[in-house]
């Protein structure tokens, strides 16, 4: 039975640690029901509020998910390793592969909720792409899933005068995706810049990514530039912060 002293963690954190250890060891595996409040109260001799706090810790960490009227279940998920330089290499998309193939390897991924529209460019897109006031852009929205789990929301903006009438304006852009099509137009991306910040999701993002309470998102803004540093795409991405490991390699 946990017995927190002045210098030890609160009891609910000790209970959460025990459950976390059971998940990590495989004693509780994906889909297993986690002991509920009543069971934890009886097992550890604690009040309901303490048991509830312990379970809330694991829910906020994304290790378990509550199912209304049924209980709380283990939701184990192997994080996706997002390798910055490798996934954007010309060798990848130039060979007709999608960027996601560099991340997902043999894991099942899919794209859904795809929307392609032509819209007036928002002010921040005008600045990022160096467009004239009143310019229009092709906006590509989509959601990515891995192993059936929503992982990322993405919206790409491209200048209309650059991509009008091409496969980039279609739902299916073809092998290699947007960057392969830009290369065919003579505007192959040669440089990329990414800005990343961590924040809490909006209600819409939490819904679309099916996030549990307390889960942050990674906001990634990537600009693709040609050899002469012309910006040809701005991509705004929202990633489930509990589902990614970001990897970047640098030479000293």
Domains defined for the chain, CATH in brackets: 11-74 (1.10.10.10), 80-247 (3.40.1410.10)
**CA–CA separation, 76 vs 60, rounded Å?**
13
Structural element, H or E, at residue 179: helix 177-184
The pLDDT averaged over each successive group of 10 residues in the chain (252 residues) is 62 94 87 92 95 91 84 78 71 66 72 94 96 96 89 96 95 91 94 94 95 87 95 96 81 75
Give the pLDDT of residue 147: 80
Give the pLDDT of residue 26: 85
Give the pLDDT of residue 199: 96
Give the pLDDT of residue 83: 73
In contact, 9 and 20? CB cutoff 8 Å: no
Structural element, H or E, at residue 98: none
Give the pLDDT of residue 8: 63
Question: If you ran DSSP here, which 8-state letter would residue 168 be given?
Answer: G
Question: If you ran DSSP here, which 8-state letter would residue 227 be given?
Answer: T
**CA–CA separation, 121 vs 33, rounded Å?**
48
In contact, 55 and 34? CB cutoff 8 Å: yes
Give the pLDDT of residue 102: 66
pTM, full prediction: 0.73
């Amino acid at each position: 039975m946990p017995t927190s002293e002045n210098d030890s963690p609160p009891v609910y954190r000790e209970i959460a640690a025990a459950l976390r250890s059971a998940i990590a060891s495989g004693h509780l595996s994906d889909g297993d029901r986690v002991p509920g409040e009543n069971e934890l109260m009886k097992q550890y001799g604690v009040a309901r509020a303490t048991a509830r706090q312990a379970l809330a810790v694991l829910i906020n960490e994304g290790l378990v998910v509550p199912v209304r009227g049924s209980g709380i279940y283990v939701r184990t998920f192997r994080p996706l390793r997002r390798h910055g330089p490798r996934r954007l290499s010309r060798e990848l998309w130039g060979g007709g592969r999608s960027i996601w193939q560099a991340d997902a390897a043999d894991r099942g991924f899919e794209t859904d909720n795809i929307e392609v529209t032509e819209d007036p460019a928002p002010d921040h897109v005008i600045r990022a792409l160096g467009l004239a006031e009143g310019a229009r852009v092709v906006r590509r929205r989509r959601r990515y899933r891995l192993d059936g789990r929503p992982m990322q929301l993405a919206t790409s903006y491209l200048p209309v005068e650059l991509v009008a009438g091409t496969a980039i304006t279609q739902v299916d852009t073809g092998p290699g995706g947007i960057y392969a099509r830009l290369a065919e137009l003579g505007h192959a991306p040669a440089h990329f810049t990414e800005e990343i910040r961590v924040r809490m999701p909006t209600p819409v993002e939490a819904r679309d990514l099916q996030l549990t309470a307390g889960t942050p998102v990674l906001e990634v803004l990537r600009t693709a530039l040609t050899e002469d540093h012309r910006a040809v795409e701005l991509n705004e991405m929202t990633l489930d912060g509990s589902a990614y490991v970001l990897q970047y390699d640098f030479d000293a």
